């Protein structure tokens, strides 16, 4: 099950400074929208995985539902995979190794490209029209981590929907950087997973403060369908 967090209350707590407005964006242009699915890999989702996030198994259905809605409306799904960088290459991350201490060897092995834990969780639906992008940092927009920003710019993407795990690590890092690159960011609140309700809520609070709108998959599905229908009727 998704986290038990009242995102409406979080929005309300920040609305006063915006004239009692919680979410800023009331519509989504699907043609300019990408859904970023963050790190839904075996190494984060499987029982007993090196970086297991049990709640991640509970948001798979919501992620798949949002992915289908984005495809049907004409947007693009981008599945991000955390991938161990070459410790001697240009994407090397020695500071992460220092922070992981004795756990770095197992972490590097788990997320080496091609390893079982590196693979996408098998219940996540990936279509041939979707994109798979490997990244070497928590944020997919850190310079040198991957080509995501260029890929989105080439497609003239302006809006980002974010789901996946961890809410308060890779999802949050990606969302923060995306907003500062002038993307409109919306967190899919019931399609993101952290290690606790408190951690999940903390990120949503930070997002609502300055970085992103907060929407459920139901809300996003409705917004995408409404806009696609309006464009078809025009």
- Structure token pair of residue 8: 């409406």
171 with 192: CB under 8 angstroms? yes
Average pLDDT of the segment spanning 92-117: 93
Share above pLDDT 70 across residues of the chain, in percent, rounded to a whole number: 99
| Residue position matching structure tokens 């907060």 | 214
Average pLDDT of the segment spanning 128-135: 97
Q: Which residues contact 88 (CB under 8 A, 6 or more apart)?
A: none
Q: How confident is the model at residue 29 (pLDDT cuts 50, 70, 90)?
A: very high
pTM comes to: 0.95
On the question of pLDDT at 75 being above 80, the answer is: yes
39 with 80: CB under 8 angstroms? yes
What's the start-to-end Cα distance of the chain, in Å?
39
Average pLDDT of the segment spanning 159-174: 98
Residue 116 CA to residue 49 CA, distance in Å, equals 10
Query: 129 to each of 2, 4, 74, how far by Cα in Å?
Result: 27, 33, 11
Query: 2 to each of 5, 34, 155, 190, 201, how far by Cα in Å?
Result: 9, 22, 31, 5, 12
Q: Average per-residue pLDDT in the chain? A: 95
| Residue position matching structure tokens 């309300």 | 12
- pLDDT (0 to 100) of residue 234: 66
On the question of pLDDT at 54 being above 90, the answer is: yes
- pLDDT (0 to 100) of residue 134: 98
**3-state SS, residue 123:** coil
79 with 120: CB under 8 angstroms? yes
């Amino acid at each position: 099950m998704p986290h038990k967090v009242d995102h409406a209350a979080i929005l309300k707590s920040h609305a006063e400074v915006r004239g009692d407005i919680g979410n800023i964006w009331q519509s989504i242009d699907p043609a300019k929208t990408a859904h970023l699915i963050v790190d839904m890999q075996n190494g984060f989702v499987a029982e007993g995985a090196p970086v297991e996030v049990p709640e991640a198994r509970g948001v798979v259905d919501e992620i798949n539902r949002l992915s289908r809605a984005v495809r049907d409306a004409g947007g693009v799904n981008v599945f991000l995979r955390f991938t161990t960088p070459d410790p001697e290459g240009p994407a090397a991350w020695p500071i992460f190794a220092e922070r992981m201490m004795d756990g770095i060897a197992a972490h590097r092995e788990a997320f080496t490209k091609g390893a079982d834990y590196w693979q996408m969780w098998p219940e996540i639906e990936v279509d041939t029209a979707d994109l798979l992008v490997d990244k070497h940092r928590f944020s997919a927009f850190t310079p040198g981590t991957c080509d995501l920003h260029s890929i989105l710019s080439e497609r003239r993407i302006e809006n980002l929907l974010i789901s996946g795990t961890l809410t308060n690590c890779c999802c949050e890092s990606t969302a923060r950087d995306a907003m500062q690159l002038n993307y409109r960011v919306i967190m899919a609140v019931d399609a993101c997973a952290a290690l606790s309700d408190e951690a999940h809520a903390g990120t949503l609070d930070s997002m609502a403060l300055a970085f992103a709108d907060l929407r459920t998959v139901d809300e996003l599905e409705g917004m995408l369908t409404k806009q696609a229908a309006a464009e078809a009727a025009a």
